[in-house]
Structure 1
Amino acid sequence: MTDLKPRKMDFGFEDRDVPFCWNPENPAWSSMANAVSFLAIGFEKMIVKLILQAKPLITDPEVVAEAVAFMRQEGHHSTAHRQHVAGLIRSYPGLQNTLDAVVGEFDLLTERTSINYRLAYTADLEATFTPVFKLMLDNEATLFAPGDDRVASLFLWHFVEEVEHRSSALVIYNSVVGNEMYRMRMAASIFAHVMKAIRIACAGFNQHVPLSERKVDSMSMFARHRAKQRVLTAVAPYLTKGPMPRAFDGLPIREQLTALAGAVRSQLPGHDPAHENLPTLADRWFDRYDSGYDCTRWYTADEQPGRAEPATAGAI
């Protein structure tokens, strides 16, 4: 039986305004993480529908249990990210169109592609998460700690649960499809779609969030865009969308290369996410949660009397 724990969390995004630049020490990371919130809503909505469609095709009851727990975790992630994005939309109403466009991309994927393709999509993308999120969680002191605790805690929770269910999507894929070469062949189109969705989000940020509040060109995470903007800066600087730092500029190069190598390795036949090196923060997070710590305020719960109630009270 699965040992995944669906944890329903409320980060209090309705309590006060949600800043776009939630980590003022790293505006590029703030923008990138916000784009992940938009992506997560569409992707995880797709996952829930996919598991409901694929469940009758799974014959192993243990895989069924894994699929249901995986779906429930992803459903909770989608709900929490919707609350985060709703907070951004209250301040920047135009972002509703951006959210609709991102979610629409995944709705079209559900309508136009097979169950096998979407299982491969989920398995391929989920396989990259452990090495990539390890890079982020191993550098939480600079990426998360200086920021708004609600947003930081949202991403910490999401990322450690992705580590927890790191094998789930591949287990489900292998149970239903079981063709490793198909998964590898589909990778190029899958990641092209992922980047398309992220581009839609980042372009929406540039359009609807004033530069004075986003601080950077939100498209600066794309190398081709940075190259084009350098040329534009030379001939028509008034048309540029802002500074173009990278979110991970301050992180150790060796760790970035390790994450990149892990993401590439995750797409190869025979890859088993269970054998990945894990971020030490994940175990610490689960221990805190199980002890009743309020993980919706990872950095400040001890400073807020009355907020540190057992987190398990909201789990289902």
Structure 2
Amino acid sequence: MTDLQVRKMNFAFADYDVPFLWNEENPAFSSMANAVSFLAIGFEKMIVKLILQAKPLLTDPAVAEEADAFMRQEGQHSTAHRQHVKGLIKSFPGLQETLDEVIGEFDKLTAETSVNYRLAYTADLEATFTSVFKLMLDNDSTLFQPGDDRVASLFIWHFVEEVEHRSSALIIFESVVGSDLYRMRMAPSIFRHVMKVIRLACLGFNKHVPLDDRQVDAMAMFASYRNMQFLRKRLPMLQEEYNGPMSRAFDVLPLGEQLTALRGVVRSQLPKHNPAHEKLPALADVWFERFDAGYDVTRWYTADAEVK
């Protein structure tokens, strides 16, 4: 039987305004995390359709059960991120255009690519999450705690559940496709698509969210964009509208930890990768223990204060 638990969450995003700059101490991380919300809605919608299409191919009952729990967890993530993004769109209506573009990219992927390709897409991308989210959760006091507790709690919940089902996508891929070579061959096009979608979200942020509200050039996370902006400063004929400071989300984090995460991402794409062997964020165990004990994980940093 699968160990995955489907948890329904309500982060009360409809109760009051959702700030774009939800962590004022780190505008670049606020913007990057918001882009993850947009990506999550489209990606997880694709996953739900994919698993429904792949179900007839899952002949092992244990894998079928894993796939169902994985799909239902991802469906809950998509629902919660939709509420977050709905709050952002309420303040910045132009972001509806951005959300439609992001979802459209994944709808196109569903319509135009095979089940095998989308299983590889899901397995490749999900395989990177443990290392990346460990970096974030290991630095929660810097990245999450100073911010809006609803938004911080949304991402902490999502990321610990990604750690929980870290092996699911590869288990499903191996059951249906079972080719590390195919997964590696598809990786370049998969990550080009991922970056294209994130770029769409960031371009939308620059277009629809005033600089006073985002406090950063949302495109600064892309090295090619930063290099182009560097050239523009020296070539007047290339000057464009100023979109804000070029700070990056992880500039405040130790370089060694960033490099460890990068090595983990590279390792995740190699043959015979087994996510079960990855080092996990300590915060994940704390989160699961608190959830099981009845702690209000939708207010991760403030629930204790209200009780007291």
TM-score for both structures, normalised by structure 1: 0.95
The answer for the alignment partner of 1:114 in structure 2 is 114
Tell me the secondary structure at the aligned position of residue 239 of structure 1: coil
1:304 Cα offset (Å): 3.0
Provide the rounded CA distance (Å) in 2 between the counterparts of 1:210 and 1:36: 19
Counterpart of 1:282 in structure 2: which amino acid?
Answer: A
Provide the rounded CA distance (Å) in 1 between the counterparts of 2:99 and 2:233: 29
The CA RMSD measured in Å over matched residues stands at: 1.1
The answer for the alignment partner of 1:95 in structure 2 is 95
Counterpart of 1:78 in structure 2: which amino acid?
Answer: S
* Residue 131 of structure 2 is aligned to residue 141 of structure 1: no
1:180 Cα offset (Å): 0.8
The answer for the alignment partner of 1:202 in structure 2 is 202
| Native 8 Å contact 1:26 1:247 kept in 2 | yes
* Comparing 228-237 and 109-118, the one that deviates more: 228-237
Provide the rounded CA distance (Å) in 2 between the counterparts of 1:204 and 1:87: 16
The answer for the alignment partner of 1:127 in structure 2 is 127
1:1-316 equivalences under 5 Å are: 1-236=1-236, 239-305=241-307
Provide the rounded CA distance (Å) in 2 between the counterparts of 1:126 and 1:280: 19
Provide the rounded CA distance (Å) in 2 between the counterparts of 1:165 and 1:93: 34
1:240 Cα offset (Å): 2.1
| Native 8 Å contact 1:58 1:175 kept in 2 | yes
| Native 8 Å contact 1:232 1:239 kept in 2 | no
Provide the rounded CA distance (Å) in 1 between the counterparts of 2:3 and 2:277: 17
1:5 Cα offset (Å): 0.2
Counterpart of 1:186 in structure 2: which amino acid?
Answer: M
1:302 Cα offset (Å): 1.9
Provide the rounded CA distance (Å) in 2 between the counterparts of 1:145 and 1:234: 39
1:238 Cα offset (Å): 6.2
Counterpart of 2:279 in structure 1: which amino acid?
Answer: N
1:79-119 superposed Cα distances (whole Å, 9 cap, x missing partner): 00000000000000000000000000000000000000000
1:37-95 superposed Cα distances (whole Å, 9 cap, x missing partner): 00000000000000000011000000000000000000000000000000000000000
TM-score for both structures, normalised by structure 2: 0.98
1:245 Cα offset (Å): 0.6
| Native 8 Å contact 1:221 1:246 kept in 2 | yes
Aligned-residue identity in percent? 73
| Native 8 Å contact 1:229 1:240 kept in 2 | no
Structure 2 runs not aligned, ≥5 long: none
1:235 Cα offset (Å): 4.2
| Native 8 Å contact 1:26 1:143 kept in 2 | yes
1:232 Cα offset (Å): 1.9
Provide the rounded CA distance (Å) in 2 between the counterparts of 1:164 and 1:204: 31
Provide the rounded CA distance (Å) in 1 between the counterparts of 2:233 and 2:78: 38
Structure 1 runs not aligned, ≥5 long: 309-316
